[in-house]
Chains A and B, each alone.
Chain A
């Protein structure tokens, strides 16, 4: 080990059979009173919120189900106002990455007693502040947001995704229950699952990697390569919970070592072209890995342990992504997303270089390199 590293993961993981049954108990021990239940309209329409409340027995709460797919700084500010107005104490985030990150933003605002999240931007720059209990219940297995100190929140006026990095935003507990992900269609399962794989691979190879995060990352990669295809083929497979746990582990890994260029470019594609985060990760991952390998040689050789019979780790990941794409209908080219605009490559490349994830990518990328990667992935 070289230099110095930090590893922080205070989240209690409640995972497996009937995990949701313990949520009420967890909320009580954390001191929640009339918690704010943050979720989105799709989950309400699908009946997931109703089922969640039936299973958990959660009655006295204030439900806000208008969190958009790409949550914004304005959404966070508005929800914090509602939290105060309703006299809530505690937050339960039920949803995917956008909902869980929005919950983190609200927690940050309330704990710092502020009204505008734009005034709290930064990295590890704020004290703990007022205690705001928070339980995360992911309904996708991918973002790992339940185990990271990072919130990505969109600034609509600037067309960028802002990163907030603060360990005190992290949930007190994460409840992983397969019943919350069983209804996910194969395409979303694939997109989010490959996002998790990307988290683990980038966490394992970026400049901030460390022995602790490596342990989580490698374990997550093993499970995802083994179980993700099965879950895409059979949505009610018992392996659902394995994939959810792997996504959570990948979150703990990259939450402590950060990610890299795939995420830097993906954030910009999301901000400028509104391409779904997981789709961008799946498309970009093999291209960025090939770039890093060409610059740095054998940095991905450790991954070969998970792909028996393969001689090249980058090709192995490419084959795996292709296989998942074929099974699920996931777009494998940027043009197939229907949102990519070639004219905006220059803007995307510029924004990618300014993304916080770029600084830890193991190989240096110039603006031209990013543009070439985008063209290759088109």
Chain B
């Protein structure tokens, strides 16, 4: 059940990023820092059937990538339950980092492109931040005023 929910959330996350890269200047700016062809993956567990999302920065846009493609940055949760806590808003990505819930392959500096995302409450600039933006705005009570419109979320404003 958790895997099914995570798969759905990752799909929503992908759609959210696609919209935000067009509509949110912060996100657009952060996306511009990603190298052309850069591949980023989130993997919600260690098993081969763990839910995952692979995105590639292609022609200035984010598109879905092949799950077998070599990722430049990969965030892999150590357990499905650890990923579930983050994606469902019980833990921020910052808390998950502090509690060793995931491992990171790739350039740490580039992954931190929106540092301390749990506190910044910015919208999405990378999947790492996206997890947090998504989870915090979706369910936590401590987040700033945010509105939910259809599938998409943004900081303090509707985007579609």
Contacts and interface: CB of A to CB of B under 8 A. Distances in A.
Interface residues of A, number: 28
Interface in A247-279: 258, 264
Contacts of B48: none
A4 B113 CA distance: 25
A5 B99 contact: yes
A38 interface: no
Contact of B98 (A125, A208, A264): A208
Contacts of B98: 3, 5, 207-208, 258, 360
A328 B112 CA distance: 36
A353 B100 contact: no
Nearest to B128: A359
A325 B98 CA distance: 34
Interface string A138-154: 00000000000000000
Contacts of B106: 121-122
Contacts of B117: 359
Nearest to A8: B100
Interface in A144-168: 160, 162-163, 165
A242 interface: no
Given A354-B110, A354-B112, A359 B105 contact: no
A6 interface: yes
Contacts of A163: 108-109
A162 B108 contact: yes
Contacts of B112: 353-356, 358-359
Interface string A276-314: 000000000000000000000000000000000000000
B47 interface: no
Which bracket fits the contact residues of B?
Answer: 20 to 34
B103 interface: yes
B97 interface: yes
A152 to B, nearest CB: 11
Contact of B108 (A4, A165, A208, A351): A165
Contacts, number: 75
A208 B118 CA distance: 14
Nearest to A161: B109
Given A3-B99, A4-B99, A207-B98, A358 B108 contact: no
Contact of A361 (B95, B103, B116): B116
Q: Do most interface residues of chain B lie in helix, strand or loop, or is the interface mixed?
A: mixed
Contacts of B114: 353
Contact of B109 (A4, A124, A356): A356
Contacts of B116: 358-359, 361, 364-365
B65 interface: no
A123 interface: yes
Given A355-B112, A359-B112, A359-B116, A162 B107 contact: yes
Given A207-B98, A359-B94, A359-B116, A125 B109 contact: no
B113 A354 contact: yes
Which of B74, B100, B108 is the most central at the interface, judged by chain A CB atoms within 10 Å of its CB? B108
B139 to A, nearest CB: 18
A361 B107 CA distance: 19
B119 A364 contact: yes
Contact of A356 (B74, B100, B105, B108): B108
Interface of A: 3-6, 121-125, 160, 162-163, 165, 207-208, 258, 264, 351, 353-356, 358-361, 364-365
Interface of B: 74, 76, 94-95, 97-100, 103-110, 112-117, 119-120
Given A207-B98, A353-B115, 9 more contacts: A5-B98, A121-B105, A121-B106, A123-B104, A162-B108, A162-B109, A163-B109, A208-B97, A359-B97
22 contacts: A122-B103, A123-B103, A123-B104, A124-B103, A125-B76, A125-B103, A162-B107, A162-B108, A162-B109, A163-B109, A207-B94, A207-B98, A208-B98, A353-B114, A354-B112, A354-B115, A356-B108, A356-B109, A358-B112, A358-B115, A359-B115, A365-B116
